[in-house]
Amino acid sequence: MKRRLFIASTVSALAGCGPLTSGLSQNDGFRKVLASVEPIDHHLIGTRGLAREYSEGDADRIFRVNGFATPSDAAYTKLVADDFATYRLVVDGAVARPHAFRLGQLRRMPQQTQITRHDCVEGWSAIGKWSGVRLGELLDAVGPRDDARYVVFRCMDNDGSGNLYYESLDLHQSYHPQALLALRLTDAPLDPDHGAPVRLRVPTQLGYKSAKWIAHIEVVGSFARIASGQGGYWEDQGYEWYAGI
């Protein structure tokens, strides 16, 4: 059972990687269907399998832009103008060694390159060549505590009403060998429209999990008190938290 096929056949009209355009997200019956499938997906698919990796020739040279609008506030505009020289990726919460990483520090850490497919809940896919730091490598640098269970990604983009995007993974998913903090796309530094300076790439899960414009990573024991407590912006609207494909 592939969740991507389930989603494509039931919610292809939804803009899952962009603003909602369907009342289905407010439908209690629809939410119950998603919730009922989630434990089945997690059991059948798990988080140990690897996403397929493709060849250079398979990669799309122009990777589709999607999601919320590129941030245009003064703080982000200044970061872009300064070539992200003042950017700091704060990693804190339930960790032994909280740290604010400069972009240069992230670039000097061991880098991984993967050519993987991005599957959007809207029903389209694209193959991209991504390079960056394994999320597990970054977590090892800060040392999750014994009470750590989830990794929350707080972003700089918003839904047009001022609500900032966020996502989360559990620790097991975060240590998946293909979970990547991407710094480069198609052999070039990430551009603003694709989530610069740092975005998440989780090729084993649907695209809305791959948060862009990451400003802050918080390791927590629970996300029950974060926003509506479902673990992500779209999950708060009724989407499945475990989005495995």
* Residue-wise pLDDT tens digits, 28-38: 554 455 455 55
Which is more confidently placed, 201 or 37? 201
Structure confidence at residue 38 (pLDDT): 53
Task: Answer yes or no: are the C-beta atoms of 185 and 158 closer than 8 Å.
Answer: no
Closest CA to 34 of 208, 199, 227: 208
User: What average pLDDT does the segment 168-181 reach?
Assistant: 97
The percent of residues above 90 in pLDDT, for the chain, comes to 80
Q: Which three-class secondary structure string do you get for the chain?
A: CCHHHHHHHHHCCCCCCCCCCCHHHHCHHHHHHHHHHHHHHHHHHCCCCCCCCCCHHHCCCCCCCCCCCCCCCHHHHHHHHCCCCCCEEEEEECECCCEEEEHHHHHHCCCEEEEEEEECCCCCEEEEEEEEEEHHHHHHHHCECCCCCEEEEEEEEECCCCCEEEEEEEHHHHCCCCCEEEEEECCEECCHHHCCCCEEECCCECHHHCCCCEEEEEEECCCCCCCCCCCCCCHHHCCCCCCEC
Q: Across all residues in the chain, what is the average pLDDT?
A: 87
Tell me the pLDDT tens digit for each residue of 186-197: 999 999 999 999
Residues in Cβ contact with 223 at an 8 Å cutoff, skipping those fewer than 6 apart? 150, 152, 168, 229, 230, 231
* Domain made up of 52-237: CATH architecture: Alpha-Beta Complex (3.90)
Amino acid at 59: A
Tell me the pLDDT tens digit for each residue of 139-161: 999 999 999 999 999 999 999 99
Structure confidence at residue 245 (pLDDT): 86
pTM for this model (two decimals): 0.84
The burial of 11, by beta-carbon neighbours within 10 Å (0-12 exposed, 13-18 middle, 19 or more buried), is given as buried
The domain spans of the chain are 1-36, 52-237
Kindly tell me the sign of the dihedral angle through the C-alpha atoms of 218, 221, 223, 224: negative
Kindly report the number of other CB atoms within 10 A of residue 149's CB atom.
Answer: 16
